[in-house]
A = this chain, B = another copy of it.
Amino acid sequence: MAEKDWIRRYFAPLAKAPGAAGLTDDTAELSKGYGPLIATVDAMVEGVHFFSDDPIETVARKLVRVNVSDILGSGARPGEALLTLGWPQAGRDPGQIRTFSDSLGTELDRWGILLAGGDTVITPGGLFLSLTLTGECLGPAPVRRGGGRPGDEVWVTGEIGAARRGYLWKTEGRDEARWLSALQAPDLPPLEAGNLIASHASAAMDVSDGLLGDLASLAAASGLAAQIELERVPFAGRATSLVEMLDLASWGDDYQLLFAASPQSSGFIENSGFKVTRVGRLTEGAGLSATVCGKPVNLPETLAFEHGRVGQPPVRS
């Protein structure tokens, strides 16, 4: 089937944006909304960001979620999407495209995202995908990494390390099968997290490269130091040793939200109605320090996760 037929059959029905024009034109009119308009783009490559044998449903789900987390982390509501789909010339059943588009449609609906446009191409290599997602800020401007103030408390949504546990199960048979779903498509905080960030966060980002490395980035962007109390971190499952804590907190692929807020906001944050945990604070100075029950901990020099090839040890930078 030709690319145009795929678009007409599988993606045009998803193109619910008012300016999508049924995907029959080359451009879509974007909704401007009321608040500032933001956009993000995240790509996923077979063998790097997902395994070749991951269900195509979860690939679609993950593609949407890794972009949604960026929008929520900026204090915004997801808006409209443009999809780039690079489908392998060989080796993947074209029947999967319907499954992919069905799953994509369900996931877009879940977040209130309207498909506005896209491009579908055939590739001699593996499956690759890229999604551009707009968002409407719920405050007067997007919340950035660099807005933290000394004395701010540091919070994280949901749980940290589920994707790492899924990876250990998938690649080494360690840990439990139930974590696999978190590796294949992360659990995200609800849409309301965007409101919480817009209303209370001084600085925010999603946790994609590991909690420790991302917190170090947020602190550096804010010109401050960060302290983290590892025993407070809401690890997926139980972290029974310092080694395990550091492993789960530096691997990445969590797509939870990390943010800083004034201590005066703590009451609002604790009553947000979804899981948010205070894990540390920002102070004058520079760098990241960690404690367990008040005792300083030596952190590994390299914290940030850099996507290597899945199935191989990740490249760390």
Residues of A in contact with B (beta carbons under 8 Å apart): 2-5, 19, 21, 24-30, 32, 36-49, 70-71, 73-74, 76, 82-84, 86, 89, 116-119, 121-126, 128, 130, 132, 134-135, 137, 141-142, 144-146, 205-206, 208, 221, 304, 306-309, 315, 317
**B2 contacts A47, C-beta separation under 8 Å:** no
Partner of A84, one of B5, B130, B317: B130
Q: Are A119 and B42 in contact (CB under 8 A)?
A: yes
> Is A309 a contact partner of B89 (Cβ separation < 8 A)?
yes
Docked CA distance A46–B124 (Å): 8
Find out whether the CB atom of B121 lies under 8 angstroms from the CB atom of A39. no
- How many Å from the CB of A40 to the closest CB on chain B? 4
* A145 closest partner in B (C-beta): B25
Copies of this chain assembled into the complex = 2
Say whether, besides A40-B27, A41-B132, A125 and B126 are in contact (CB < 8 Å).
yes
Q: Is the CB of A40 within 8 A of B24?
A: no
Q: Which of A26, A135, A137 has the most CB of B within 10 A?
A: A26
- A130: which B residues are within 8 A, CB to CB? 41, 43, 84, 119, 130
Look across to chain B and name the residue whose beta carbon is closest to the beta carbon of A118. Answer: B41
Look across to chain B and name the residue whose beta carbon is closest to the beta carbon of A4: B317
Cα A191 to Cα B179 in complex, Å, equals 52
- Known pairs A41-B82, A43-B121, A48-B123 / 10 extra A-B pairs, C-beta < 8 Å: A24-B145, A25-B145, A26-B40, A26-B70, A45-B121, A45-B123, A45-B124, A45-B125, A121-B307, A125-B128
Q: Which residue of B lies closest to A75 (CB)?
A: B27
- Closest B residue to A3 using CB positions: B306
Q: Are B317 and A135 in contact (CB under 8 A)?
A: no
Inter-chain contacts of A205 with B (CB < 8 A) = 25-26
Report A91 CB to chain B, min CB distance, Å: 12
